[in-house]
């Protein structure tokens, strides 16, 4: 399968007012293949949204580029001027639905105006009539009534607003769509509609490939082909959605998966557990494994020696000094004890 988005050794940082560097994306490499969807999961603050901004190559202070390359459909976009990125990349090559975008729609403008903005930025010669006919066609394919075009955001329900935001963002049929927590503010039935809509967009060819960001892991299992887990600015594991949910290798992924229930499976085979401690400070770039201070299996070398890089290609890969067989052995040995602890949890603790 041909790669659609190739990110190699990408490092970006925020500069604070105190002139400190916060390295929120640190040496990240991955490939998103044509026709595929890739989930990015991790605790709040690990750098998911910064990674989304960074792969668009569109930098504004306080976010800065440090190193790495970004290639979309064979074309390198790293270090292009912001104006070139805006005119030739955003919307067509890569489109981004920011976190909480639906609440950012200007309430004094009709929906059609946002579409005009996107289309005019791409092709200033388009007439209002052409814009309306394209918008109506796309809205009807996405089961959005055309009357929405003449409404204001405040007149729409939460689910409808989010679907409208998705329709606006994808009007130019991007090769890569990045959806940043697109359903986390919605109720369960609206979440399902939004996820189905994103699937439909891919199936109908309006979006070629997708990065889906969330902290809600059960969502990714049904939504994406592959999942990457991010921790403290780094990708720490990648595999198929099934592998990552049912057979996570790296202790952090394991902890993250164990703190959730996959709806289809219930609690069968899962031990619900919180990950102790808090993520590290991103101002410091330690030598050893960043998860080591919270990892129950960490040994001295984990804290001091650098960990091997994650493979950039699609497929199974994880960052941990422990060998696979050793990790499986540890997990197997501790399971009876964890199950025992689990049965002592008060039932209201299990959501």
Ligand X SMILES: Nc1ncnc2c1ncn2[C@@H]1O[C@H](COP(=O)(O)OP(=O)(O)O)[C@@H](O)[C@H]1O
Distance from CA of residue 108 to its chain's centroid?
30
Running DSSP on this structure, what letter comes out for residue 304? H
Query: Which two tokens mark 8?
Result: 């190699």
* Under rule CB under 6 A, residue 211 binds ligand X: no
Structure token digits, residue 319: 């960052």
Q: CB 320: neighbour CB atoms within 10 A?
A: 25
Say if CB 110 and CB 151 are below 8 A apart: yes
Out of 12, 29, 49, 317, point to the residue binding Mg ion (CB under 5 A): 49
* Residues whose CB falls within 8 Å of the CB of residue 72, separated by 6 or more in sequence, listed in order: 4, 5, 89, 93, 94, 175, 176
State which of residues 32, 46, 135, 307 lies at the interface with ligand X (CB under 6 A).
46
Residue 139: closest CA among 163, 109, 114, 158: 163
- Whole-number minimum distance, CB 59 to ligand X, in Å? 12
**What is the closest distance, in whole angstroms, from the C-beta atom of residue 46 to Mg ion in the complex?**
9
x/- letters, 8..47, toward Mg ion (CB under 5 A): ----------------------------------------
Burial track 191-223 (b if 16+ CB lie within 10 A, e otherwise)? bebbbebbeebbeeebbbbbbbbbbebbbbbeb
224 touches Mg ion (CB under 5 A):
no
- Half-sphere exposure at residue 325, Cβ-oriented, CA atoms within 13 angstroms: 0
> Considering CB under 6 A, how many residues would be counted as binding ligand X?
14
Partner in contact with 50, chosen from Mg ion, ligand X, none, beta carbon below 5 to 8 Å by kind: ligand X
Binding mask 100-129 for Mg ion (x = CB under 5 A): ------------------------------
Q: Which of residues 264-323 bind ligand X (CB under 6 A)?
A: 282
* Complex with ligand X: residue 43 or 226, whichever CB lies closer: 43
Which DSSP state fits 305?
A: S
Can you tell me the distance from the alpha carbon of 179 to that of 182, in angstroms, rounded to the nearest whole number? 6
Binding part of the chain for ligand X, among 16-24, 184-192, 249-257, 285-293 by CB under 6 A, reads: 16-24
Considering the complex, state which of residue 47 and residue 57 has its C-beta at the smaller distance from ligand X: 47
292 lies in the site for Mg ion, by CB under 5 A: no
- Which among 45-53, 132-140, 142-150, 250-258 is the span making contact with ligand X, rule CB under 6 A? 45-53
Q: Which is nearer to Mg ion, 206 or 231 (CB)?
A: 231
What does the binding site for Mg ion look like in residue numbers (CB under 5 A)? 48-49, 99
What does the binding site for ligand X look like in residue numbers (CB under 6 A)? 14, 16, 22, 24, 42, 44-50, 62, 282
């Amino acid at each position: 399968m041909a790669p659609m988005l190739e990110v190699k050794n990408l490092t970006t940082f925020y500069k604070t007012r105190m002139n400190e560097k916060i390295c929120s994306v640190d040496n990240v490499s991955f490939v998103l293949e044509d026709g595929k969807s890739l989930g990015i999961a991790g605790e709040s603050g690990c750098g998911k949204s910064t990674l989304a901004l960074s792969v668009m190559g569109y930098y504004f202070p306080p976010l800065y580029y440090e190193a790495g390359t970004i290639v979309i459909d064979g074309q390198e976009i790293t270090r292009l001027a912001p104006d070139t990125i805006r005119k030739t990349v955003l919307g067509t090559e890569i489109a981004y639905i920011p976190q909480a975008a639906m609440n950012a729609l200007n309430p004094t403008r009709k929906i059609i105006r946002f579409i005009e903005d996107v289309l005019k930025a791409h092709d200033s010669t388009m007439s209002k009539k052409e814009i309306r006919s394209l918008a109506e066609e796309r809205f009807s394919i996405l089961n959005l009534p055309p009357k929405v075009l003449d409404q204001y955001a405040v007149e729409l329900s939460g689910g409808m607003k989010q679907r409208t935001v998705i329709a606006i963002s994808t009007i130019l049929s991007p090769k890569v769509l990045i959806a940043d927590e697109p359903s986390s503010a919605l109720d369960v039935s609206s979440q399902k509609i939004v996820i189905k809509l994103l699937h439909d967009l891919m199936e109908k060819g309006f979006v070629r490939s997708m990065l889906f960001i969330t902290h809600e892991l059960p969502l990714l299992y049904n939504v994406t082909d592959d999942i990457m887990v991010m921790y403290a600015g780094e990708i720490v594991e990648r595999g198929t959605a099934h592998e990552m949910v049912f057979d996570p290798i790296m202790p952090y992924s394991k902890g993250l998966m164990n703190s959730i229930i996959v709806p289809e499976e219930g609690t069968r085979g899962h031990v619900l557990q919180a990950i102790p401690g808090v993520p590290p400070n991103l101002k410091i770039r330690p030598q050893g494994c960043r998860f080591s201070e919270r990892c129950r299996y960490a040994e001295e070398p984990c804290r001091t020696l650098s960990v091997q890089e994650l493979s950039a290609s699609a497929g199974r890969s994880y960052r941990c000094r422990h060998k696979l067989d050793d990790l499986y052995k540890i997990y197997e040995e501790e399971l009876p004890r964890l199950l025992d602890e689990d049965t002592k949890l008060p039932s209201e603790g299990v959501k």
